Amino acid sequence: MNRTPIRALLALTSLFVLFVASSCRHSPEGPRTDGPPRFRYGFSRVLDLRPSRVAVAPPRRPGVAYLELYAIGDQGTGLPGQRLVARRMAELARKEAPSLILLLGDNIYPKGVRSVDDPQWQTKFEAIYIQPELQVPFYATLGNHDYRSKPDAEVAYTDRSACRCSCTAERRCDCRRLVATRKCWIMPRRYYSFHRRIDATTDVHFIALDTTPIAYPRYYPKQAAPQIAWLERELKSSTARWKVVFGHHPIVSGGQHGPNRPMRDSIRPLLERYGVQLYLCGHDHDLQLLRPNGSPTTYVVSGGGGKSRDVRYIRDSLFAATNFGFVSIRLSADEALIRFFDRAGELRFAYPIERKTAKR
């Protein structure tokens, strides 16, 4: 038997292993074993051997206004992996000058913070993103690990930062920098929204979700419904050209956690009904880009800010990688360019999406 074609095929594809994983019911406080184990069979990518298929990302066009931002999740370890990703972000920021950074939850491992004076603020946030190029607003959302101590301490830390926020009763927040040369932590509410402009006529509506109560309704039976109703009001009333929703838990994912069913059932219909172009999340410690067939929403997983786990391609995957890293998003009036960078600072994948008219 001639095995040469097989060897050639292996050289050009990814190496996969068949795994059998036992999954238990989980709560945000940790694993539960109050039910029978379920077994998952699948193929997990453990090593990417394929030659890169990434086209060189197009440069900025002269005369076109852009809003640059980065997104990272699951970053708050204080370990070398988090520091390495921070350095790579700073290296890219030196060339591109992002206006803001989105933190997608699990901001402080393993159990969040106890107060605004918790020393972990220094070791897992302030001293990590210390480079001059990263002294921009960090808009944060809560993850399940942040719930293990005092999640409202992360809200209160906003008042310790170099920004001040004012919010309406509908949680629409306007945050202003007090010191232009300092980064600031922004989480004025557990869930909130804010606007940024690309140019004088192009608005971006950002909506930060607190996904833990939605993802685990069994443990937070009264907290999910008011937030879901608020989200629909925000989306229904929005006239922004771009709508970007970000939270911690995935709606579509090929990672080890995979899609969260309550999020999928309650949040995905709203995103698609109101034409949200981007949903960003973490929780799965990998990098993914997913686009369900017929959906107006592109789903981005950027959970490699401080940890890394295996991931697999699924039907909706456009890109998936097991790596530390971060996501860069460049918004113009008519296009969003999504780029994935790994821990070496190498561009792994770039994908443009056109802005489409929001559905009603």
Q: Quote the CA–CA distance of 234 and 262 in Å, as a whole number.
A: 20
Q: Is residue 85 part of a domain?
A: yes
Residues 125, 205: one domain?
Answer: yes
* 324 domain-assigned: yes
| Cα-based distances in Å from 287 to 33, 178, 236, 342 | 29, 33, 30, 9
Amino acid code (one letter) for 190? R
Please tell me whether residues 247 and 103 are part of one structural domain.
Answer: yes
Residues 343, 328: Cα–Cα separation, whole Å: 13
Place of tokens 């709560």: 27
Q: Which residues pair with 347 in a beta bridge?
A: 341
Tell me, yes or no, whether 14 lies in a domain.
yes
pLDDT at 10: 34
- The total of structural domains in the chain comes to 2
Domain contains 73: yes
Output the pLDDT for position 40. 33
Contact present, 49 and 10 (Cβ < 8 Å): yes
Query: Would you say residue 82 lies in a domain?
Result: yes
Does residue 313 share a domain with residue 252?
yes
Question: Do residue 112 and residue 197 come from a single domain?
Answer: yes
Task: Determine phi and psi for 294, rounding to 5 degrees.
Answer: 80, 0
**Segments in 157-219 forming alpha helices (H):** 212-215
Q: What are phi and psi of 86, to 5 degrees?
A: -60, -40
Residue 328: the pLDDT is: 98
The whole domain housing 258 covers: 67-354
Residue 146 sits in the same domain as residue 247? yes
* Strand locations in the chain (E): 15-23, 26-27, 30-31, 38-47, 67-72, 100-103, 137-140, 163-167, 173-177, 184-186, 192-199, 202-208, 242-246, 278-281, 287-290, 298-302, 317-321, 325-331, 335-342, 347-354
**Under 8 Å CB-to-CB from 308, ≥6 apart: which residues?**
81, 285, 286, 322, 323, 324
DSSP label at 226?
H
Contacts with 283 (C-beta within 8 Å, 6 or more apart), sequence order: 73, 74, 105, 106, 143, 144, 248, 249, 250, 253, 255, 257, 260, 301, 303
- CATH code at position 257: 3.60.21.10
Structure tokens at 84: 């390495």
Pair (173, 38) in one structural domain: no
Within 8 A by CB and 6+ apart from 294, the residues are none
Specify whether 202 is located in the same domain as 307.
yes
Are 165 and 34 contained in the same domain?
no
Residues 33 and 120 occupy one common structural domain: no
Residues 6+ apart with CB under 8 A from 47: 14, 15
Which residue's entry shows tokens 């290296």? Answer: 91
Domain match, 111 and 34 both? no
* pTM reported for the whole predicted model: 0.85
Tens of each residue's pLDDT in the chain, 360 residues = 444 333 333 333 444 444 334 344 444 444 333 333 333 333 333 334 333 444 456 778 888 999 999 999 999 999 999 999 999 999 999 999 999 999 999 999 999 999 999 999 999 999 999 999 999 999 999 999 999 999 999 999 999 999 999 999 999 999 999 998 899 999 999 999 999 999 999 999 999 999 999 999 999 989 999 999 999 999 999 999 999 999 999 999 998 898 999 999 999 999 999 999 999 999 999 999 999 999 999 999 999 999 988 888 999 999 999 889 999 999 999 999 999 999 999 999 999 999 874 443
pLDDT at 57: 66
Is 60 a member of any domain? no
Do 184 and 319 belong together in one domain?
yes
Is residue 55 included in any domain, yes or no?
A: no
CB of 99 closer than 8 Å to CB of 196: yes
Instruction: Judge if 109 and 30 occupy the same domain.
Output: no
In what side-by-side order are the strands of the sheet with 317-321? 192-199, 202-208, 242-246, 278-281, 298-302, 287-290, 317-321
Nearest-angstrom CA–CA distance, 16 and 4: 19
The pLDDT, as a whole number, for residue 47 is 37
**Residue at 236 is within a domain:** yes
| Cα-trace Rg, the chain | 20
- The sign one gets for the Cα dihedral 96, 332, 297, 350 is negative
